[in-house]
Amino acid sequence: DAGITQSPRYKITETGRQVTLMCHQTWSHSYMFWYRQDLGHGLRLIYYSAAADITDKGEVPDGYVVSRSKTENFPLTLESATRSQTSVYFCASSDQGTKETQYFGPGTRLLVL
């Protein structure tokens, strides 16, 4: 589990500000994912990436932007944060050969005021 890290772990921001959440993995996994976790909704997929420079939308992509210039990094940007984006954000990664088995990072708790 130490192979996937997220930063910051906690973030408070204001409505309208841009926020970037970082995710870094050291396993050289091809696939990376961003989820948000809200009470009553479980985990919902925001975006995922199959490899560097390849990204796809998940279930709830609106208001988020991702990039994957390097295999090990998958930043998530909220271009103009809204209160509804207050959540816990989890990054995950999986190996090409077992792409369905995902390993989660420790999470970032984001509060938008």
Partner 1 sequence: GENVEQHPSTLSVQEGDSAVIKCTYSDSASNYFPWYKQELGKRPQLIIDIRSNVGEKKDQRIAVTLNKTAKHFSLHITETQPEDSAVYFCAAIYNNNDMRFGAGTRLTVKP
Contact residues toward partner 1 (CB under 8 A) are 1, 31, 33, 40-45, 48, 50, 56, 58-59, 90, 99-107
3-state SS string over 56-91? Answer: EECCCCCCEEECCCCCCECCEEECCCCHHHCEEEEE
Which CB sits closer to partner 1, 25 or 102?
A: 102
Number of H helices, E strands in the chain: 0, 11
Report the nearest approach of partner 1 to the CB of residue 108 (Å).
Answer: 11
Element (H, E) at 102: none
Shortest distance, position 65 Cβ to partner 1, whole Å: 18
CB of 81 to partner 1, least distance (A): 23
By C-beta, is 63 or 104 nearer to partner 1?
Answer: 104
